[in-house]
Amino acid sequence: MASAPTVKLNNGVEIPQLGFGVYQIPDDETAAAVGSALEAGYRSIDTAAIYGNEVGVSRAVAASGLAREDLFITTKVWNADQGYDATLRAFDASLAKLGTDYVDLYLVHWPAPARDLYLDTWRALEKLAAEGRIRAAGVSNFLPAHLRRLAEHSSLVPAVNQIELHPGLQQAELRALHAEQGIATEAWSPLAQGAVLGDDAIVSAAARHGKSPAQVVIRWHLQLGNVVIPKSATPERIRENIDVLDFTLSDEEMAAIAALDRGLRTGPDPDAFN
Ligand code: NAD
């Protein structure tokens, strides 16, 4: 059974580098998908309040028989729940659905700049972290300006910024800023929801290694140092996506994939999504 390496966050907490994302999996199918993932060796699950499947995640965890401390669970506060008090209430609701008394990583899902509440939301995450109800506090979809503003108002540096990142959108500026500030880069839509799996550099590397294009892309993320959370609801693909620890892309292959960067955004622009 595969077991992913870990990345040490800026507060010493370790996150599995390869986790399982559950966006767009209906709640009543989530327990089966997460159950397959846990069986395949994933120990990190990425959900969000807005996905509506935190209960499905909790069912799979309960059925797995795994100890809570052997799992890494991420969830996120939704835009409509931003603000200090609303975030604390949303966190309690997520915990109840997840059937746990702490989460490993709690993220501000979007900066939602037009709401202008993310500094207050972040104070709520500071409190949750101080109380030990979250092991790490992070953000998602924050652009450089949002990270810099946060740093001006808080001494708590986000452990993670979870951003859209894949071979078509490589996010050089944010990755450099993260490295400077000590923030781990977590890649969402790491496969570009399939849109890069036919690219020549990826298909040819896959053929050379006897691997699938999806495995090549996930391996590329791992070699860059990204935390990565591919999603699938198909047991065979769930297993395939974690079976990436037995080969290494060459420098030439990494360079050929670097050349695929083309501003391909599959999700919303964080400056305009509220
Ligand atoms: P993804 O890039 O992981 O793509 C998933 C899709 O790729 C699947 O639905 C399937 O169609 C295809 N796929 C998966 N494995 C494959 C394989 N082995 N071979 C061929 N095709 C395969 O996209 P995603 O689900 O959008 O992102 C992954 C996770 O990131 C989500 O589940 C969620 O947890 C997180 N996410 C976070 C945000 C955010 O705003 N923070 C936004 C989107 C997603």
Cα 214 to averaged position of ligand 1 atoms, centre (Å): 11
Tens digit of each residue's pLDDT (9 = 90 or more) over 211-225: 999 999 999 999 999
Q: For residues 149 and 111, what is the distance between their CA atoms, to the nearest angstrom? A: 11
Of residues 23, 42, 51, 118, which has the active-site annotation? 51
Q: What is the pLDDT of residues 49-70, one digit of tens each?
A: 999 999 999 999 999 999 999 9
Query: Domains in the chain, please, with CATH?
Result: 6-194+224-245 (3.20.20.100)
Q: Determine the residue of 197, 232, 234 to mutate for testing ligand 1's pocket, defined as the one with the most ligand atoms within 8 A of the Cβ atom.
A: 232
Residue 2 has pLDDT above 60, yes or no: no
Known active-site residue 51: yes
Q: Quote the ligand 1 centre to 225 CA distance (angstroms).
A: 18
The answer, yes or no, to whether any atom of ligand 1 lies below 6 A from the CB of 213, is: no
Average pLDDT over residues 194-201: 98
Share of the chain above pLDDT 70, in %: 99
| pLDDT of 235 | 98
The alpha carbon of 147 and the centre of ligand 1 are apart by a number of angstroms equal to 25
Dist. CA 188–CA 227, nearest whole Å: 9
pLDDT at 177: 98
State how far the Cα of 198 lies from the Cα of 196, in Å rounded to an integer. Answer: 6
Provide mean pLDDT across the span 34-63.
98
230 close to ligand 1 (CB < 6 Angstrom): yes
Average pLDDT, rounded, for the chain = 97
Nearest CA to ligand 1 atom 42: 188
**Is 1 a residue whose pLDDT tops 60?**
no
User: Which tens digits make up the pLDDT trace of 138-192?
Assistant: 999 999 999 999 999 999 999 999 999 999 999 999 999 999 999 999 999 999 9
Q: What is the pLDDT of residues 210-264, one digit of tens each?
A: 999 999 999 999 999 999 999 999 999 999 999 999 999 999 999 999 999 999 9
Say if CB 79 and CB 112 are below 8 A apart. Answer: yes
Q: 129 CA distance to ligand 1 centroid (A)?
A: 28
Q: Which of 26, 33, 17, 6 is nearest to 231 (CA)?
A: 33
